[in-house]
Chains A and B, each alone.
Chain A
Amino acid sequence: MNLSLKRHPKLVWIGFAVLATVCSLAVVWAQKNLKASSDPESANVGRTLTVFPVTVKPGPPTPQLDTGLKDGRGTAITAACSTCHTSTTPNVSRNTADDLFQAHRGLSYNHGNLTCLSCHNSKDYDTLHLADGHRVAFPDVMTLCSQCHGTAMRDYLHGSHGGMNGYWDLTRGPRERNNCVNCHDPHYPEFPLVQPVLPPHDRISVPAKH
């Protein structure tokens, strides 16, 4: 049986076709295998750590005084601090609200030797001010607190002062921090006395009854 290529030119084409099929199958198989073997590596090496944010709860909104009046729709009419304070003379030495009879009645105040205008801005009563006179909006009150309470701020920034919620591992989820004024009343920053919850009912450390 003579199968020389000259006599049977069709065989060349058939050979080519078979070769091409085998090659393409081999390439596909190799790709698949390579992909499988490189997958775990690429997952580890090329892993970009998404770091979730640590957000601080915003400070109080700019205060509005409730006038006790209602508009036509029944919404309470409020007034900005500056509404009254533009027509009053600032008293830089005032450090109590006890003898006030128009506004701020019943405000208990005990915050060191500070006066009202140590923090409140007499040039714009809708804001606060730093010791150097820079204006601070109410929501950014922590900048103001940290002027004096540097050690507390240092601890806060290192996560050892102030409550928080969320994730210790920021690659897995975000965290929310308390603002200074969430826990401390800026006019009376000392922590109040509280009634403890959940008295224990077990028998450890029961005072001896003789």
Chain B
Amino acid sequence: MNHSETNKPITPCSGNCSCDGGSREKDPWTGNDGSNRRAVLKGLGATLGVAAYAKALAPLTELTQQTSMAEFLQKHYKELTTDEITVVLDRLTRETKEQYGADVTISDPKPIEGVKFGYGLNLSICNGCRKCAEACHLENNHDRPSNQSYIRVFEMTKGSMDFEKGNVHYEHPVPQPDKYYMPVQCQQCEHPPCVDVCPVEATWKEKDGIVVVDYNWCIGCRYCEAACPYHARRFNWQKPEIAAEEINPDQGYLSNRIRPQGVMEKCTFCLHRTRNGRLPACLEACPTGARVFGDLNDPDSEIRWVLENKRVFVLKEELGLKPQFFYFFDE
């Protein structure tokens, strides 16, 4: 290094390049030279980056803590053999005991041969008390803090049939004289759009007409929720919270067992009850007797009498989804 070079004035860099020319001047504020500040900023950036990455991955680590290896490797419900399903049911029973402290029985009732379920609801009688929604909440082991239920009761202005304009958040005594009340739950469509859109075939229609979800196969993309024109599907934003003594121990794999976080759920006509011949919980809870349930294939069933003798309609008939849930009026 010769004298002439050191005396040469340093040309300041325009700052538009990757060189470090001119950056070695002392910062007039801190007294440090630039390389030090750069290192600090780099370090800070890297730390923030790592922190953000860790934060972004946190749900995944939680998920791995919640998901056992056996659950991760579990096959699709339809591919499980009888022996395999027994193993799965045992594991789920054990996990419920570990996570919720409740002794439950998880069964896997199959569709009854030759039976096709149908549901009727008498709008002349329903008084909007929401007892059905409450019964569903309790029967199906829904998350307690969110008041989750498969049934939404719409308060409708008389003369209107558009439940999109109905109000579900009424708190006043019912029935109001100028209103009628329309409970809406899964309509168990013949052509269910929720099944069509599922990218992983985690939901399908069973032989008895019930649309079910394999909660262990669902990836929680919520396409089905968007596809359902009846707002009948619910998403488990959080791991359901239920006290052990409130858990309904009579559970079905495809119905009311406690769902994991991040999966879809829906009304199954209480298949753990109805496939064993019992009435659905919402029907038993109805204090007005507005609900009719039965086998559409049985010509002597109550539901068939309603279809043949009452003024019956289905919701959003124009969509062509052929709901198996029928509304009717007395007069």
Q: Is B292 among interface residues, defined by CB-CB distance under 8 A? A: yes
User: In the complex the two chains form, is A191's CB within 8 Å of B127's CB?
Assistant: yes
Which among A158, A175, A191, A206 is the interface contact of B169 at CB below 8 angstroms? A206
Residue of B nearest to A175 (CB): B279
Q: What B residues does A61 contact at CB under 8 A?
A: none
Q: Is A205 among interface residues, defined by CB-CB distance under 8 A? A: yes
Known: A183-B287, A200-B168. 15 other contacts (CB 8 A): A159-B305, A160-B122, A160-B302, A160-B305, A161-B125, A161-B289, A163-B287, A165-B279, A172-B277, A196-B174, A197-B131, A205-B154, A205-B167, A205-B231, A207-B169
How distant is the Cα of A158 from the Cα of B301 in the complex, in angstroms?
A: 8
Residues 149 to 182 of chain A near chain B (Cβ within 8 Å): 151, 155, 158-169, 171-173, 175, 178
User: In the complex the two chains form, is B152's CB within 8 Å of A168's CB?
Assistant: no
Give the segment of B8-16, B52-60, B143-151, B186-194 that binds chain A: B143-151
Which among A155, A201, A204 is the interface contact of B231 at CB below 8 angstroms? A204
User: In the complex the two chains form, is B277's CB within 8 Å of A167's CB?
Assistant: yes
* Cβ contacts A124-163/B at 8 Å (1 or 0 each): 0000000000000000000000000001000100111111
User: In the complex the two chains form, is B174's CB within 8 Å of A193's CB?
Assistant: yes
How distant is the Cα of A160 from the Cα of B311 in the complex, in angstroms?
A: 13
Chain B residues within 8 Å of A, Cβ to Cβ? 112, 120, 122, 125, 127-131, 133-134, 137, 145-149, 152-154, 164, 166-171, 173-175, 231, 234, 274, 276-279, 283-284, 286-289, 292-295, 301-302, 305-306, 309-310, 328, 330
Q: What B residues does A162 contact at CB under 8 A?
A: 289
How distant is the Cα of A161 from the Cα of B294 in the complex, in angstroms?
A: 14
Report how many A-B pairs have Cβ atoms within 8 Å: 124
Known: A194-B127, A206-B169, A207-B169. A163 touches B288 (CB 8 A): yes
Known: A160-B306, A168-B274. A196 touches B289 (CB 8 A): no
Known: A200-B147, A204-B168. A168 touches B288 (CB 8 A): no
Q: What A residues does B112 contact at CB under 8 A?
A: 169
Q: Is A198 among interface residues, defined by CB-CB distance under 8 A? A: yes
Residue of A nearest to B298 (CB): A169
- Shortest Cβ-Cβ A-B pairs, 6 listed: A172-B277, A159-B302, A169-B277, A193-B173, A162-B289, A163-B289
Q: Is A88 among interface residues, defined by CB-CB distance under 8 A? A: no
Q: Is A72 among interface residues, defined by CB-CB distance under 8 A? A: no
Which among A161, A166, A167, A200 is the interface contact of B133 at CB below 8 angstroms? A200
User: In the complex the two chains form, is B174's CB within 8 Å of A151's CB?
Assistant: no
Query: Of A175, A183, A199, which is in contact with the most chain B CB atoms at under 10 Å from its CB?
Result: A199
* Cβ contacts A101-130/B at 8 Å (1 or 0 each): 000000000000000000000000000000
Q: What A residues does B294 contact at CB under 8 A?
A: 159, 168
The smallest C-beta distance from A182 to any residue of chain B, in angstroms, reads: 9
How distant is the Cα of A162 from the Cα of B276 in the complex, in angstroms?
A: 23
The smallest C-beta distance from B310 to any residue of chain A, in angstroms, reads: 7
Known: A173-B277, A200-B169, A205-B168. A160 touches B288 (CB 8 A): no
Please tell me the number of chain A residues within 8 Å of chain B, measured between CB atoms: 35
The smallest C-beta distance from B169 to any residue of chain A, in angstroms, reads: 7
Q: Is A89 among interface residues, defined by CB-CB distance under 8 A? A: no
How distant is the Cα of A168 from the Cα of B306 in the complex, in angstroms?
A: 15
Q: Is A195 among interface residues, defined by CB-CB distance under 8 A? A: yes
How distant is the Cα of A168 from the Cα of B277 in the complex, in angstroms?
A: 6
Which among A160, A175, A178, A198 is the interface contact of B137 at CB below 8 angstroms? A198
Residue of A nearest to B293 (CB): A168
User: In the complex the two chains form, is B284's CB within 8 Å of A164's CB?
Assistant: yes
Q: What A residues does B145 contact at CB under 8 A?
A: 201
Query: Of A160, A199, A200, which is in contact with the most chain B CB atoms at under 10 Å from its CB?
Result: A160
User: In the complex the two chains form, is A207's CB within 8 Å of B175's CB?
Assistant: no
Q: Is A202 among interface residues, defined by CB-CB distance under 8 A? A: yes
Query: Of B146, B164, B274, B288, which is in contact with the most chain A CB atoms at under 10 Å from its CB?
Result: B288
Residue of A nearest to B291 (CB): A163
Q: What B residues does A207 contact at CB under 8 A?
A: 167, 169
How distant is the Cα of A164 from the Cα of B130 in the complex, in angstroms?
A: 17
Q: 17 A-B residue contacts at CB 8 Å?
A: A160-B120, A160-B289, A160-B306, A163-B288, A165-B284, A167-B277, A168-B274, A168-B279, A191-B127, A193-B174, A193-B175, A194-B174, A197-B130, A200-B147, A201-B145, A201-B148, A205-B168
The smallest C-beta distance from B152 to any residue of chain A, in angstroms, reads: 6
